[in-house]
Amino acid sequence: MLPLNRLQKLAARHGTPLFVVDHDQIRRNYAEFKKHLPRVQAYYAVKAEPLPEIVETLYKAGASFDVASFPEFLIVHENIKNLSARRRQDYIWDKIIYANPIKATETLEQLDQYRPLVTFDNIEEVRKIKKHAPHAGLALRLKVANTGAMVELSSKFGAAPGEAVDLILAAVKAGLVVEGLSFHVGSQTTNFENYVQAINLAANIFKETRERGYNKMNLLDIGGGFPAPYDNTVKPFRDLARTINKELDRLFPPDIEILAEPGRFMIATAGTSVVKIIGKAVRDGKLCYYVNDGVYHTYSGIIFDHCHYHMKAFRKGREQICSVFGPTCDALDVISMAENLPEDLELGELLYSPDIGAYSHASSTHFNGFPPAKVVHVNR
């Protein structure tokens, strides 16, 4: 995280609320990912925070991109085409995967000209792709265990293992090219066994597909879920990578391309929120602070991402357990009901939340007329 005095200077210059993005930290996170998973190409999950500046930084570092909507696709497209001619020439569209298994027909029609790589998990999607994006390459999304994930995804997406090969062959029969498999073990997954089970399942599907006559699959997308170090209960990334590498090397030969879709891991620790205390009250004997950002804005991950963000003061003082509320009139706008903060903080003082880069500012609204926090990029 940035030094506290620098955060204070940014707040003095730009006002609050602020969402500060540290691009040096993004580059460090990407480098760590590549160091420990050298065989895996990182496709940054743009939905985690779709700011064009982040896309540019990761592209220059060597990342590819996972998009889940056509607007996200355009963010990547427009950002890359604005780089140098040399970079535009180097950029090829197989550097993007459209990893939303369910796509509107209008989206498929818009994507088709780019010959995209898209995921699917059911026969209706095969029919849509055949009609509206016949030039797409396909990856079958498998349903896998999400045990221990902060956000579970397999109840919404993923083909059952028993129908996987039939779906692949149905797509091939329709004249489409199935390039491989994908899965997602759930967001912020601290149960490493999810990856072990999913990689083994994928290897079995590869084997059965070949045995049934189709041998053109050459990629495996191991999805996202790589946990951000929110606290000391999260095991080091290198431990997870060691587990993944062991299974990949054992089950998949070097000619199989391995993809992943890290979002949270890339940017969670690169974002910091800075807010101002706008109100203070004691309710039922409990000290309450009101700040100028909340769950309809940067702290939306409390609701949508099942995440808790700690609020910290810039100075020390005798602490007590406080409630911290956002600025809107909605009683849902609660950042924390149990935060240890100095009891003598005054109106106008600042608070901050580290490690808030993922699935936070991306979901900001204008509820009650309050705009999203101002974004400030540093170390670009």
The predicted structure's pLDDT at residue 157: 84
* Closest to 200 measured CA to CA, from 181, 215, 224: 181
How many C-beta atoms surround the C-beta of residue 163 within 10 A?
15
Rounded Cα distance between 195 and 286, Å, is: 44
* Closest to 133 measured CA to CA, from 151, 152, 116: 116
User: Of 288, 307, 322, 329, which is the active-site residue?
Assistant: 329
Go through the domains of the chain in sequence order and give each one's CATH number: 4-18+269-378 (2.40.37.10), 23-267 (3.20.20.10)
The predicted structure's pLDDT at residue 180: 96
The predicted structure's pLDDT at residue 279: 98
How many C-beta atoms surround the C-beta of residue 335 within 10 A?
26
Report yes or no: 209 and 170 within 8 Å, Cβ to Cβ: no
Element (H or E) spanning 181, and its range? strand 177-183
The predicted structure's pLDDT at residue 91: 43
Q: Is 321 helix (H, G, I), strand (E, B) or coil?
A: strand
Helix axes 123-132, 161-173, angle to 10 degrees: 20
Q: Is 158 helix (H, G, I), strand (E, B) or coil?
A: coil
Please give the biggest Cα pair distance in the chain: 72
The predicted structure's pLDDT at residue 149: 46
pTM: 0.93
Digitized pLDDT (tens) for each residue of the chain, 380 residues in all: 899 999 999 999 999 999 999 999 999 999 999 999 999 999 999 999 999 999 999 999 999 999 999 999 999 988 776 665 545 444 444 588 999 999 999 999 999 998 889 999 999 999 999 999 999 999 999 998 665 545 545 667 899 999 999 999 999 999 999 999 999 998 787 788 889 999 999 999 999 999 999 999 999 999 998 998 988 888 899 999 999 999 999 999 999 999 999 999 999 999 999 999 999 999 999 999 999 999 999 999 999 888 889 999 999 999 999 999 999 999 999 999 999 999 999 999 999 999 999 999 999 999 999 999 999 999 99
Rounded Cα distance between 330 and 93, Å, is: 44
Nearest 10 degrees: Cα torsion 250, 251, 256, 257? -70
* Closest to 322 measured CA to CA, from 294, 300, 344: 344
The predicted structure's pLDDT at residue 79: 76
Concerning whether 329 is annotated as a catalytic residue, the answer is yes
